[in-house]
Structure 1
Amino acid sequence: MSELLSTEILARLQFAITIMFHYLFPPLSIGLGLILVITEGIYLKTKNPIYEKITKFWVKIFAANFAMGVATGLVMEFQFGTNWATYSRFVGDIFGSALAAEGIFAFFLESGFLAILVFGWDRVTPKVHFFSTLMVCLGSMFSAVWIIIANAWMQTPAGYHIVGEGMHAKAIIDDFWAMVFNPSSMRMLLHAIIGCWLMGAFFVMSISAWYILKKQHLEVAKKSFTIGLVLAFISSIAAASSGHLLAERVAETQPAKMAAMEGHFITGTGGAPLYLFGIPNSEKQTVEYGIKIPGGLSFLLHWNFTTPVKGLDQFKPEDRPPVGITFQMYHIMVTLGMYMLFITSVSLILLKRKKLFESKLMMKIYCFSVIVPVIANQAGWIATETGRQPWIVYGLMRTPEGLSKSVKANEILASIIMFTLIYILLFLVWVFVIHNKVKHGPDEIFPNKKRKFIEENNV
């Protein structure tokens, strides 16, 4: 039993390490992809060569990040067959269709047009190049679509039936579209994509703020920062709205997860409080040192301060998620989301007053704020996945049941050490490449293009 437990913990730890490392890169690609569509779209409309310069610069960053996302994603999928063979057998029909759709509709679309995006500037017409940029952007989002559909099915299974028993049981698709549009998929997808846009926007603003502080490439930096700021502000509002919609669905379909996220232990007969922060104590069934809004959780979920919300006391102890980590990760995500909304709102006011780029304090804040959406995205997914426990497929298969029967704890530990060292090396390479591209900065505009634009527009 102890060996099984240690094997389970190590297998889960390895998956957490690989997927959290991988998830540093695809969200950034999705966010940068949208930025590229915006900047190149402005260039196509205005013919202002500065936007061509901006787009070409961020394309270089995008390409380096895209390559890292592909490399780290392959390892993640191999674990299904090594550490989680029983689980893979159970969900193979579901995941096989979703991952095949990702390859057909997303990866080939994205990678097929990437070469034109990177190398096609002087080889195709501006409209064809913009179309390629748009396809790369859509391809990166389609990748998220099918991965999140697969994950959402684990949260709220639909459109299936079970054949076989025990280790040989399988979930077979009855209705493909019911599987795709399972109860949580679209709300999860919307919230996740918006989180990716925030990562891209804050990444662009961080590098642009650094240029502004150094008084380098000011025209590119200020225009890039402004585009990133507007996207970040809109995405911050959208993230709060989509997060609320997702929370309502979680309360309907996974009430134990919602109770764990909010530290709601006792159901009671009145409204459930909303905790701003605190430390859940599962033994005492309370949140210690907590600041709460009475009836706040009931209002958010039911628009009524007195409606009861199902607490953890309604579930068997063995069916309850780990409350501590789920609660804290959820609240970290929400807190950082509010920070992003606040800082972008203040920045838009300063921008309108033409004081933003003169504020060294704000530029320094944005240099370091690049980490904020990264932590928020990671914390949100940790809350989502730990809140699903003890189920690997909610209500159908418990996590220990999905383990491979032949893999030993020491084998997993050895692979964790090996892959951690490789990931550290890969991350250092990524930092080195991005640093060099940022240090080099945008390429200069051809003088004849700039002169022609000035003459035609009387600038």
Structure 2
Amino acid sequence: MPLSTEESPAMHGITALDLARIQFGFTVSFHILFPAITIGLASYLAVLEGFWLRTKNPVYKTLFHFWVKIFAINFGMGVVSGLVMAYQFGTNWSFFSEFAGGVTGPLLTYEVLTAFFLEAGFLGVMLFGWNRVGPGLHFLSTILVAVGTLISTTWILASNSWMQTPQGYEVVNGRVVPTDWLAVIFNPSFPYRLAHMSIAAFLSTALFVAAAGAWLLLRGKSEVASRKMLSMAMWMVLIVAPIQAFVGDAHGLNTLKYQPAKIAAMEGHWDTAPKGDKDGFPLIVFGIPDMDKEVTKYAIEIPRLGSLILTHSLDGQIKGLKDFPKADRPNSTVIFFTFRAMVALGVLMILFGVAGVLLRRNGALFRNRIFLRFAVVMGPTGLIALLAGWLTTEIGRQPWVVYGLLRTTDAVSRHDVGPIAVSLAAFVVVYFLLFGAGIRYMLKLVNKGPDGGAHGDVTPGHIPVPPQPAPMGGMAPALAGVATTRAAGGGATTAHLSNR
């Protein structure tokens, strides 16, 4: 039987459950950044190569060879961090695996059989085959790698969405048994979450590319190529950021239907208005939710706007947190702020895209240094918003691992605090050394700019290997080898168990 909260070993008030959550939250937060950029860059590379084949404009070829190097490094780091996630299901969350493995196991297998084999079959051709295969086959390989990243995203989101809105199952002898695979895969939240995550990946990549182009323009490097990458990225931001807002609204309505406690916690909304109340409920722009006193302190409110956003009606009502048992309430203190951070950054992205159009009309997009500096600052905002969104949706699912079926306290393995504390400390040190070196190397490549100046080409097929930090010692070659054997999506984003 799984441990209860009272039975979970503790040290200085910290339980094994707390540390397992922190460890999963830490590792998955690192991991999700790399697949997001991988998904976006794979499609961007396909667009660049397609434009090169159609126009023969050398700038597209230059940009392809520039970004494929960054893609390769990012891909490898996504692979390694994803493998770590998968192992935690067995080490720290064995009761989750025992309970829900009948659903999550096959879904991850489908990801391997589709996305992994597709990417593994054509990734090498894309990275090393520029002068070894014909242009048509190389372009097809790039397209298939991009498609593979999206297929991987689909299976991962199907698994994670089932944990949010489970259906198509029976519980037999304490284990989930699938009864309808179409219902399992196409569960109620899956379409919204798949669209939201995919668009977030494209938007994060566009902001990253725009920041790179702006940085190089500020430094006077590779002007023609830098202008092209900034221009393409700004069109992407302009189109995708507003679409993301509409998708997010639809996702919110779906969450209100299936996880109303999460919405109440996100809004810091405690009291349900009496029936017949026509005043609606306000949007709390800022406040500090107090879970013990059941109130949102220092609330700054806009009357009726909460009703308009969540119910599309000025007098609509939703349940307050007080209508849910205390044991079933998500931590409003956390997700109240993570949700607002995501929304605020989303609004800023829309304004950023509009500013780009206005400057483009005036011919100042590539010359306005204030805008270029702003573009550099906006570079990481897509990933920050993505992390804030995942924290909101996953912490908002608590106290459930599988919503309404399995609590997080019942999913954790039987461990003492000591081993988990040691492994968590090791993860923190290794992750900052290994992935810190990789990220630093990617930024170094960006700072260098496309090789050959404005129109020159890099050496076709040359994929650099980032320097490995000394403390990894003999593990570095092994990790480099592993990086070529697993799809970038990494199977482990399936179950975000973090509540920290």
- Same fold by TM-score, threshold 0.5 exceeded? yes
> What displacement does 1:331 show?
0.8
Is the 2:221–2:453 Cα contact (8 Å) retained in structure 1? no
Q: Secondary structure at the match of 1:306?
A: coil
- The 2-side partners of 1:431 and 1:302 are apart by 42
Query: TM-score with structure 1 length normalisation?
Result: 0.93
- The 1-side partners of 2:417 and 2:186 are apart by 37
> What displacement does 1:447 show?
8.8
Report the CA distance shift for 1:112/1:294 in structure 2 as closer, same or farther (over 3 A): same
Counterpart of 1:152, as a letter, is S
- The 2-side partners of 1:236 and 1:436 are apart by 28
Is the 1:267–1:308 Cα contact (8 Å) retained in structure 2? yes
Q: Which runs of structure 2 are paired with 1:153-164 in the superposition (5 Å)?
A: 153-164=162-173
Bigger mean CA offset, 357-366 vs 179-188 = 357-366
Report the CA distance shift for 1:439/1:298 in structure 2 as closer, same or farther (over 3 A): closer
Q: Structure 2 residue aligned with 1:20, among 29, 41, 62?
A: 29
Is the 2:224–2:454 Cα contact (8 Å) retained in structure 1? no
- The 2-side partners of 1:439 and 1:322 are apart by 41
Counterpart of 1:127, as a letter, is G
Is the 1:266–1:285 Cα contact (8 Å) retained in structure 2? no
For the pair 1:370 / 2:370, whether they are aligned, the reply is no
Counterpart of 2:361, as a letter, is K
Is the 1:279–1:290 Cα contact (8 Å) retained in structure 2? yes
Is the 1:390–1:398 Cα contact (8 Å) retained in structure 2? yes
Query: TM-score with structure 2 length normalisation?
Result: 0.86
Q: Secondary structure at the match of 2:70?
A: helix
- The 2-side partners of 1:389 and 1:345 are apart by 37
The corresponding residue for 1:57 is 66
The corresponding residue for 1:220 is 225
Q: Which runs of structure 2 are paired with 1:24-423 in the superposition (5 Å)?
A: 24-164=33-173, 169-269=174-274, 270=277, 271-405=280-414, 407-423=415-431
The superposition leaves residues 331-351 of structure 1 with CA deviations (integer Å, 9 ceiling, x where unpaired) of: 110111111111111112101
Counterpart of 1:16, as a letter, is G
Q: Secondary structure at the match of 1:403?
A: coil
Is the 2:223–2:454 Cα contact (8 Å) retained in structure 1? no
Q: Secondary structure at the match of 2:15?
A: helix
Is the 2:330–2:397 Cα contact (8 Å) retained in structure 1? yes
Bigger mean CA offset, 290-299 vs 244-253 = 290-299
Is the 1:272–1:307 Cα contact (8 Å) retained in structure 2? yes
Counterpart of 1:21, as a letter, is F
Bigger mean CA offset, 412-421 vs 228-237 = 228-237
> What displacement does 1:274 show?
1.6
> What displacement does 1:400 show?
0.5
Q: Structure 2 residue aligned with 1:6, among 2, 15, 37?
A: 15
The superposition leaves residues 36-64 of structure 1 with CA deviations (integer Å, 9 ceiling, x where unpaired) of: 12222211221212111111111111111
Counterpart of 2:136, as a letter, is K
Higher helix share: 1
Structure 1 unaligned residues grouped into runs of 5+: 450-459
User: Percent of aligned positions with the same letter in both sequences?
Assistant: 39
Counterpart of 1:262, as a letter, is E
Show structure 1 runs of 4+ deviating over 6 A. 445-449
Q: Secondary structure at the match of 2:364?
A: coil
The corresponding residue for 1:455 is none
Structure 2 unaligned residues grouped into runs of 5+: 1-5, 458-500
The corresponding residue for 2:3 is none
